[in-house]
Amino acid sequence: MLKSADALADAGYNVRVVATSNEPWAIDADRDVRSRRHWPATIINYRRGDSGLTYWWSGVRARASRAAVSLLGADRAPLRLVAHAVGRTHAELVRAAAAEPADLIYGGTTGALAAVAEAAKRSGIPYALDLEDFHSAESDAPDASLRFELVSRIEKAVLRNAVFLTTSSEHIAEAYREQYGVEAGIVHNTFPLPAEPPDFVRVDPEKLRVYWFSQTIGPGRGLDDAVVALGRAGVAAELALRGRPHLDYVEQLKQLAGAKAPLLEVTHQLPAAPDAMVDLSRGYDAGLALERMVPRNRAMSISNKAFTYLLAGVAVVMTDTPGQHELGEDVGCAAALVPPGDIDALASAFRQWADDPSMLARAKRAAWDAAVRRWRWDHPKERGLLLDLVSAALS
């Protein structure tokens, strides 16, 4: 949505952004993002200890709504009650989005789908939705079945009335088509092409430098497999992890490396602003995009990491999931496609690049070439498609 706001503003639209803020660690990154933009933003703060009563009231409301929906059933409960059960700040989002005149409301994320629709109805204007994920199959937590029912109820109610839908992969679009009979334009989670090409000279030719980033560094993201595979490959390597550690997970990875990968150094880097992700990926040899097969949404998704690495001129190690297979085939030698959970295949990819510098160099240059050719936000099939959809909706 950040890139969409930028694209629409650059195209001459008057853009106003409504967003939430609840993670203390993201305050500096949010401030950096806002300092680089000229469009106005309304921020709904529900950080604990920093939002007055909003944190407590929104939490009580969400829990009470979920309890009520559990008793009534997702299909029988009022839609607004279901919306409060799914979106902690549903009411605040609706009020903020409807607070000023607009011609179109475009929004996304699980907790905002119903809010976008309700705000648009209140304002008497059309709305559009971004379905970056297959929201009813995002979770494998203990309450996943209830969440599936809640999100499905919202999707049934709001998808068909949207003037357009966007999503982030062919397989997610197909899933929405099969479940709800709706069509979504595919706008991949790509990023703008940097003004300058990468420097392909390796920072440390004696060591394979591997990179991974996310908001949170935690289990279930393939990092344990990467550590074991790097040990099995028997190559000197660095695994750099950027993000906020979940509990002591980074220390657990370091201990695993000590036991299974004695030639591997695991390093930790702090989270950074979204605008910096491509530049911060430069200089590494390989990036990890290790999506899983469960929950279902993961299998259908294309990791935003993969697109980031391409733009940085970094070779990509990708799990061969349904969502990522076509991208891996398209970029050719820039990517190593490995079956999910196949540590031997992962080790083989690392070993080939570590043992053959010319093969690694070809992979890194192929990554940049693929970004220039197709996999960038400023491509007609990405930003251009979004602008076409908005123009048609407003005509």
119 touches 105 (CB < 8 A): yes
Instruction: Report mean pLDDT in 10-residue bins for the chain, 395 residues.
Output: 96 98 85 92 94 94 97 95 97 98 96 97 98 90 86 97 98 97 98 96 96 96 97 98 96 98 97 93 98 94 97 98 98 98 98 98 98 98 98 97
pLDDT of residue 280: 97
Do 208-373 and 2-190+379-394 have the same topology in CATH?
yes
pLDDT of residue 354: 98
Q: In whole angstroms, what is the distance from residue 129 CA to residue 165 CA?
A: 5
205 CA to centre of own chain: 31
pLDDT of residue 51: 86
2-190+379-394, what's its fold? Answer: Rossmann fold (3.40.50)
pLDDT of residue 55: 95
Q: Where are the domains of the chain?
A: 2-190+379-394, 208-373
pLDDT of residue 139: 81
pLDDT of residue 219: 95
CATH 3.40.50.2000 fits 208-373, yes or no: yes
Is pTM beyond 0.85? Reply is yes
Amino acid identity for residue 365 in this structure: R
Q: In whole angstroms, what is the distance from residue 179 CA to residue 160 CA?
A: 12
pLDDT of residue 23: 85
Q: Is 107 helix (H, G, I), strand (E, B) or coil?
A: strand
86 touches 154 (CB < 8 A): yes
Closest CA to 313 of 206, 186, 211: 211
Q: In whole angstroms, what is the distance from residue 289 CA to residue 337 CA?
A: 10
Q: Is 125 helix (H, G, I), strand (E, B) or coil?
A: coil
Q: In whole angstroms, what is the distance from residue 357 CA to residue 142 CA?
A: 46
pLDDT of residue 156: 97
pLDDT of residue 143: 78
Q: Are strands 17-21 and 264-269 parallel, antiparallel or unpaired?
A: unpaired
**For 289-319, what is the HEC assignment?**
ECCCCCCHHHHHCCCHHHHHHHHHCCEEEEE
